[in-house]
């Protein structure tokens, strides 16, 4: 399977604090709806009261202080696919898991040729008070703060069950070229994607 893990120098403490500060505001402000106006939690199993269920309603890259995150996503994407400089479009959100939470297997695109179409998804591990794992098509990856994993969007991925006293935080994102955005993303959702 094709996936790649990158070590980043991103300030994860800053992002952790920003995510936890914004979590209740986002949950209060936005309903857990997808572009089709139907309730969703992104097929993660985290439920409609989770921050993840608002993934369609905001883009974390619009937050102040995410310039380095934007640059890191773009650089690693271009390196991952061995591409030259070009504009890409990213939808980005945060996941906050608490005791007993587990993300069930899901993918971000049904397209089996997503790598050929440069359709890539990713996770940046931000924080956890326990050792945790993420599974990509049953390949086990030990999470490490500041590590970013990129993978084809059709790959099923999930987490182990979080059992701890604090929380487990990650940032998830989907990356598309302009062509892929037009092919893969519903037009009503285009305004949520950030060009970087």
Give tens-digit pLDDT for 82-111: 999 999 999 999 999 999 999 999 999 876
Q: 4-195 sits in which CATH class?
A: mainly beta
**What is the value of pTM for the model shown?**
0.94
Task: Express each pLDDT in 9-38 by its tens digit.
Answer: 999 999 999 999 999 999 999 999 987 889
Q: What is the pLDDT of residue 112?
A: 61
Residue written as tokens 């202080």? 65
Q: What is the pLDDT of residue 138?
A: 79
- Distances, alpha carbon 10 to alpha carbons 66, 69, 73, 113, 174, in Å: 10, 7, 11, 31, 18
Contact 158, 141 (CB under 8 A): no
Q: Which pLDDT tens digit goes with each residue over 114-126? A: 555 688 999 999 9
187 burial type by CB count under 10 A (0-12 exposed, 13-18 middle, 19+ buried): exposed
As a whole number of angstroms, the distance between CA 166 and CA 121 comes to 26
In sequence order, which residues have a C-beta less than 8 Å from that of residue 69 and are 6 or more positions away? Answer: 10, 15, 60, 61, 92, 124, 171
């Amino acid at each position: 399977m094709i996936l790649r893990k990158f070590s980043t120098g991103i300030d994860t403490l800053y992002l952790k604090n920003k995510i936890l500060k914004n979590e209740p505001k986002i949950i209060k402000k936005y309903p857990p709806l997808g572009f089709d106006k139907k309730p969703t939690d992104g097929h993660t199993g985290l439920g409609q009261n989770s921050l993840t269920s608002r993934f369609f309603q905001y883009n974390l890259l619009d937050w102040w202080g995410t310039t380095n995150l934007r640059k890191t996503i773009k650089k690693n994407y271009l390196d991952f696919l061995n591409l030259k400089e070009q504009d890409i479009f990213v939808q980005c959100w945060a996941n906050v898991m608490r005791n007993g939470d587990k993300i069930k297997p899901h993918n971000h695109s049904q397209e089996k040729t997503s790598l050929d179409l440069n359709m890539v998804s990713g996770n940046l591990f931000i924080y956890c008070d326990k050792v945790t794992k993420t599974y990509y098509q049953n390949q086990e990856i030990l999470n490490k703060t500041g590590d970013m994993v990129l993978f084809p969007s059709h790959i099923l991925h999930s987490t182990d069950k979080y059992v701890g006293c604090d929380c487990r935080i990650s940032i998830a994102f989907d990356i598309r070229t302009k062509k892929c955005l037009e092919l893969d993303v519903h037009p009503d959702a285009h305004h949520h994607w950030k060009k970087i």
